[in-house]
Chains A and B, each alone.
Chain A
Amino acid sequence: MRERITQMIVKEFIQTLRDRRRWMLLFGAPIIQLFLFGYVVTTDVNNISTALYDLDRSQESRELARRLEASGYFNVRYAPQSPGEIRDLIDRGEVLCAIQINRNFAKDLKRRIPTEIQVIVDGTDSNTAMVALSYVTKVIAKYAWEYAVNTVGTVLSPPDFRTRVWYNPDLKSRNYNVPGVIASIIMITCIMLTSMAIVREREVGTMEQLMVTPIRPVELMLGKTIPFAIIGLLDMFMVTVAGVLWFGITIKGSLLLLLMGTSVYLLSILGIGLFISTILKTQQQSLLATMFFNMPAMLLSGFMFPIENMPVIFQYITYLNPLRYFLVIIRGIFLKGNGFVVLWPQMAALFVLGTVIITISSFRFRKRLG
């Protein structure tokens, strides 16, 4: 049995690697994706193009403007002279944020009358808008607090909030996203490879030739999937090294645990590829089906959109998604240095999921051969 499987694996490697264009698909595409995703998938918001309409022109209003600039988030590029000008700037997309300081800003502060600061944000990009609002609030709150402390000796002193950020102190989204990108790329590549390789054999007609050899269905299946498991691990290694070296991400946890996690992850990924191949006839169909699976799987995994913000039904659906579990594993190992103690539930879930899918598809695989 071992002999036959080895032969099968050798044949598969020869077939896959013979075509130079396939090398591109196996190793070039993941790297291109890593760079594209790595650079583009960022939710950092800096240099918010801002217009400041200062009607007060007092020391206090200038101080607020200075603080906005000094925060590093805002780039005050325009000083409009009328509300109409603000409207125009936002309409044309020149600025994302407009801040209007009213005429009596300093006077009101001195007389301790609540003074309004108008903040207008272009909400087209809801996420950037939310982050911009969050920054504005932070800057104003800090200024208000310091102004109060410096000018009024208070009887009842308001508390000082000290915020500390753990695991990713600079709040760089790249540290969070690159591990996620690695996990997604492995899924995209491996499902497509497995499903198309098996379907191609059927489409071209060589499947019949294999069936007349003494090879048994289980051996055939193992021989078909093991090469892709190896390629998957290679891809994982390559993309991880590239991600760590190029993007300067550090891995805080154990590499051995990462290897373990990747192995159980590949189990379920290859199972899905195998399953797709058992229901479809042509390469075109299997390609479309792969895309059909990958898109929702990436969206409903916590890769870009936190799971806890989804409606409950969709949260349940995510439990069927291998990417969901692997993201927790890979991010935990990269960012937090989590050990097996923390990550075992995810590993167990992937193992169970993988075993179930592999079993179902091997039954279907045998039926289609018989």
Chain B
Amino acid sequence: MRFLRIKAIAKKELIQIWRDPLSLIIALLMPVIQLFIYGYAITFDVNNITTVVYDQDKSSLSRELVAQFKESGYFTLVAYVDNYDDIDAYLDSNRARVAITIPYDFSKKMRTGNPAHVEVIIDGSDSNTATIAEGYVAAISLRYAQRITTRTVLPVMDPRTRVWFNPELKSRNFIIPGLIAVIMSVVVALLTSLTVAREWERGTMEQLISTPVKPSELIIGKLAPYFAIGFMDMVLAVLVGVTLFGVPLRGDIVLLVVLSSVFLFGTVSFGVLISIIAKRSQSVASQIAILSTMLPAFLLSGFLFAISNMPKPLQVITYIFPARYFVTILKGVFLKGSTLTLLWKEGIMLAMAGAIVFFLAIRKLHKRID
């Protein structure tokens, strides 16, 4: 293996990347845009739940109840209605998600010591929002009961909730660390797999093979520039995430960089492997890249959707994909400040995956040349 030849290949590759600035721009812009959308636009938080109230009682007690809902900050009152048909209409057309009906005898019953039934209808289509809304309703009912029954002194259970690692439950903190894995998988695997396949498609690979370059040198030289692009994406994502979005980086930054490089090495090698398997077709290479790296990184890594919620066979499959280990590492280092003592298993899995893919790529390339 000669460093000079590796350098020459890498230089050639860089020139080629430079000549197609559009792809490069997309490669660097995509992470930034995704960061902004995940950082600013979307959240799993649930507030502003649109609500209609059908207050049949119109008493001071019922108004107090409605006020409790409004003050909670979770419910936005859209309208007062005065029949059940309007509730149907509001829920059917998505103008409201929750409807609260307070019965005629609400205050009368409460004064005579009989429980009055307040009916809360929740639009369950979006089950997640509905579940959380149910919890809010329960909390508000508890608070209301405590408030109006102060005179009788009820036995009170007071749930004191504390949230660790992400006290404000910002979905941003949960998403952005894992997003780094997704961005690196998507951009790097896709770019790498396409450019090598293009070399085959255009026939310039034969020219390269006729030079004294050895397969391992060829692969390392090809890898290097994409490794650099992926590394830049990672640095960009960490910088934007920490400085702009205030995502806490509690762990060791050196550990983060080292483990990211290991993951990146595996991803780039995998891109080359795909392009060798895809046999001269960019569109096939891209399809394989999307199905084998992008979708798993997005869906099977625990980035957005908890692995423990998946069906068992699918949970087993997640172990094949390195993104799974990397997402665990990222979340651990960022939010929990985990050290190598907790993360060594994931680190070893990443290193092993990278090494296997790299040697497979060299062997496959050998075979193609012969």
Chain A residues proximal to chain B, CB less than 8 Å = 21, 24-25, 29, 32-33, 36-37, 39-47, 49, 90-92, 108-110, 112-131, 133-138, 140-145, 147-149, 151-173, 175-176, 196, 200, 280, 282-285, 287-289, 291-292, 295-296, 299-300, 304-306, 308-311, 314, 328, 331-332, 335-336, 338, 342
Contacts and interface: CB of A to CB of B under 8 A. Distances in A.
A165 B174 CA distance: 29
Nearest to B119: A162
B162 A120 contact: yes
A36 B45 CA distance: 25
B174 to A, nearest CB: 4
A279 B176 CA distance: 32
B114 A157 contact: yes
Contact of A299 (B41, B195, B198, B305): B41
Given A159-B145, A167-B123, A295-B30, A134 B136 contact: yes
A349 B112 CA distance: 54
Contact of A300 (B41, B91, B158, B299): B41
12 contacts: A25-B287, A29-B291, A121-B162, A130-B45, A137-B135, A143-B157, A144-B156, A153-B113, A166-B91, A168-B127, A299-B41, A328-B94
Given A167-B125, A311-B41, A162 B117 contact: yes
B43 interface: yes
A-B residue pairs, 6 tightest by C-beta: A134-B135, A158-B145, A123-B166, A168-B124, A43-B128, A127-B44
Interface in B228-242: none
Nearest to B139: A137
A220 B133 CA distance: 52
B164 A300 contact: no
A305 B42 contact: yes
A119 B159 contact: yes
Contacts of A112: 153-156
B155 A109 contact: yes
Contact of B157 (A29, A37, A115, A127): A115
A39 B314 contact: yes
Contacts of B309: 42, 44-46
Given A126-B170, A137-B159, A92 B342 contact: yes
Given A299-B41, A309-B42, A309-B48, 19 more contacts: A91-B342, A121-B161, A123-B164, A130-B44, A133-B163, A134-B132, A137-B142, A152-B152, A157-B110, A159-B116, A163-B120, A166-B121, A173-B128, A284-B282, A292-B30, A304-B304, A305-B42, A309-B47, A336-B125
Interface residues of B, number: 112
A156 B110 contact: yes
Contact of B118 (A125, A161, A296): A161
Contacts of A149: 115
Interface centre among A138, A166, A328 (most CB of B within 10 A): A166
Interface of B: 20, 22-23, 26-27, 29-30, 33-34, 37-38, 40-48, 50, 65, 91-94, 106, 109-132, 134-139, 141-142, 144-145, 148-149, 151-167, 169-171, 173-174, 186, 190, 194-195, 198, 281-284, 286-287, 291, 295, 299-300, 304-306, 308-311, 314, 331, 335-336, 342
Contacts of B109: 157
Given A39-B314, A133-B135, A134-B131, A162 B145 contact: no
B21 to A, nearest CB: 10
A200 B118 CA distance: 63
A175 B163 contact: no
Contacts of B65: 159
B336 A124 contact: yes
B246 to A, nearest CB: 14
A166 B122 CA distance: 6
Contacts of B120: 161-164
A202 B161 CA distance: 61
Nearest to B128: A43
Contacts of B139: 137, 141
A135 B331 CA distance: 25
Given A114-B156, A159-B115, A161-B118, A119 B42 contact: no
A269 B47 CA distance: 32
A127 B142 contact: no
B218 to A, nearest CB: 20
Nearest to B41: A314
Contact of A291 (B116, B131, B190, B281): B190
A159 B122 CA distance: 18
A125 B304 CA distance: 8
A138 B148 contact: no
A247 to B, nearest CB: 12
A129 B163 contact: yes
A135 B309 CA distance: 16
Contact of A131 (B34, B50, B132, B314): B132
B169 A126 contact: yes
Given A127-B171, A175-B125, A292-B26, A342 B93 contact: yes
